[in-house]
Amino acid sequence: MTEQARTLTVWNGRVPLRVHVAGAGPAVVFFHGPWGLTWGPFLDALAQQFTVYAPEHPGTTPGDPDAIQHVDHLWDLVLCYDELLEQLRLREVMLAGHSFGAMVACEVAALQPARVKRLALIDPIGLWRDDAPVVNWMLLGPAEMPAHVFHQPDGPAAQAMFAVPAEAEAGALARTRLTWAMGATGKFIWPIPDKGLKKRIHRITAPTLLLWGEHDRLVPRAYAREFADRLKDTRLEVVPGAGHAPHLEQPEATARAVQAFLKA
């Protein structure tokens, strides 16, 4: 299955958002994490049963790094996505997200709770505990990063995200894109990813799936409890053999869990 990309412009003409779309069936919007959008087996599997919309966060779209300069605050970002859902005419939708994208999914759901029917959060950030701090991945060196994001730092998922192409220009672009994606998403969470979701999360009404990589070294599993305590209807599933990005490292198992939950 090949996804189609289309660009919709929000924020009074200032922010073009590229959205990858594939599949058929009920609508699921997937918000990617801090390292940019990877369309791979996980989203392919979801698109077997749903119409998947995967927007790229402002600034992370190749060729348009400066879109992020028009989005100053988390509030701006949430309203950009609100406008996007309106333009896509998604009045009833399911939301999924990974890491930073899961935080965005929560914020969008908290803005208009009635619009969101189900919510799937993969290793979400957005809350804070002093006794279990979320690791700031933006301060990790390139040698430390793969082992913090993935259970298998040399596995294919880590290679796909972090391997730098040998050809010089492609390598420079890949490194730049990865760093800039962290910067553009990091704009909304620096230096601590607690930006008030705790005050808004009670508004969410959708049943929520919490998926955690068994070996997440960035966001301790203590946060599953924090989300569960604040949401009305949650279910926790742990994905074995995965770190902070189970949808990339264990795409089949993660897709099965998400599909089963969204279809229920």
Partner 1 sequence: MKVSAFHLMPHRELPPDFERRYPSVWVTPPWWELADARRVGQYYNWTLDELLYAARAGFDGVCTNEHHQNAYGFMPSPNLMGSVLAKQTNGLDVAIVQMGMTLPTTSPPIRVAEEYGMLDCISGGRLVAGLPLGSPMDVNLAYGITPMEHRERYREAFELVLKAWQAKEIFAWNGKYFQLGQVNLWPRPVQEPHPPIWVPGSGSISTFDFATEHNVCYCFLSYAGARAATTMMDGYWDVVEKKGLERNPYRAGFLQLVAVSETDAQAEADYAKHVEYFYHKCLHVPPQWFAPPGNQDYRSLLAANRNPVRRAEDPKTLRYKYFVEKGYVIAGSPATVKERLTEEVIKRLHVGNLMVLVQIGSMPHELTLKNIDLFAREVLPGLREIWDDKGWENHWWPKSLRGSRQPAGATR
- Smaller CB distance to partner 1: residue 66 or 154? 66
* CB neighbour class for 115 (10 Å; exposed up to 12, middle 13-18, buried from 19): middle
- Smaller CB distance to partner 1: residue 118 or 187? 187
Minimum CB separation of residue 188 from partner 1 in Å reads 9
Tokens at 228, concatenated: 């569960």
- Smaller CB distance to partner 1: residue 4 or 141? 141
- Smaller CB distance to partner 1: residue 34 or 251? 34
128, 133, 120, 134: which is closest to 198 by C-alpha?
A: 128
Residues that bind partner 1 (CB under 8 A): 65-66, 68, 72, 138-142, 168-169, 171-173, 175-176, 179-184, 186-187, 190-191
Q: What is the separation, in whole angstroms, between the first and last Cα of the chain? A: 24
CA angle 57, 148, 236 (to 5 degrees): 75
Computed over its alpha carbons, how large is the radius of gyration of the chain?
A: 17
